[in-house]
Amino acid sequence: MYNYIKALHLIFVITWFAGLFYIPRLFIYQIEAFHKGSPEKEILGEQLKLMAKRLWYIITWPSAILATVFAIWLLVLIPGWLEHGWMHVKLAFVILLFAYHLKTHQIFKQLQRDEVKYTSNFMRIWNEGSTIILFAVVFLVILKNAINWIFGVTGIIVLAVLLMLGIKLYRRIRDKNPKA
């Protein structure tokens, strides 16, 4: 039974992250559509809100809940995992992931009400938050106690810096060629 529960946990973690990766892209498009003229603003805005609503409530939230249910089930099956330091760190990242998810939910609700409080550039940076958490959790789970925390933290910082540089490079390319 353990392998079935673990497989279901992984499937729903993957679909949860798929939603978290895509929803900020939809936010970027919504924000950019908000600044267009009529009728493009209204047509794009309504379609993007519908897409975001379906993604958020049909895929992302259910996946988050089911990933959590199966994770708890795994911990019930093997409670000894809670004695390992790597599991404590993983659970800290999971708490961070839920904080990211809830803040993303807040942004989702604002955009559903046509309240634009963030720029599309901010959302491009926000989009990388779940990527950094995913890298941290995957390496932590795979390497467990073998991970050297100094190298691990350094690696996450380097990843974050590289992602930010990539965003800046994209912005420069986009500013030179608005159709990119």
Tell me how far apart the alpha carbons of residues 44 and 16 are, in angstroms, rounded to a whole number: 25
> Which is higher by pLDDT, 136 or 24?
24
Q: What is the mean pLDDT of the chain?
A: 90
Indicate whether 149 pLDDT > 70. Answer: no
DSSP H helical segments within 78-148, as ranges? Answer: 85-112, 120-126, 129-143
Indicate whether 161 pLDDT > 80. Answer: yes
What was the pLDDT predicted at 113?
96
> Which is higher by pLDDT, 148 or 74?
74
CB under 8 Å to 97, separation ≥6 — which residues? 130, 133, 137
pLDDT tens profile 110-138: 999 999 999 998 999 899 889 888 988 88
Q: At 76, is the pLDDT very low, low, confident or very high (cuts 50, 70, 90)? A: very high
pLDDT tens profile 4-23: 999 999 999 999 999 999 99
Is 101 part of any known ligand binding site? no
Tell me how far apart the alpha carbons of residues 70 and 160 are, in angstroms, rounded to a whole number: 29
Q: At 160, is the pLDDT very low, low, confident or very high (cuts 50, 70, 90)? A: confident
* CB count in 10 Å sphere of residue 69: 14
Give the percent of the chain with pLDDT over 90. 60
What was the pLDDT predicted at 168?
80
Q: How far is CA 134 from the centre of its chain?
A: 8
pLDDT tens profile 84-118: 888 888 899 999 999 999 999 999 999 999 999 99
Is 90 part of any known ligand binding site? yes
* CB count in 10 Å sphere of residue 97: 22
HSE-up (13 A, CA, CB side) for residue 146 = 4
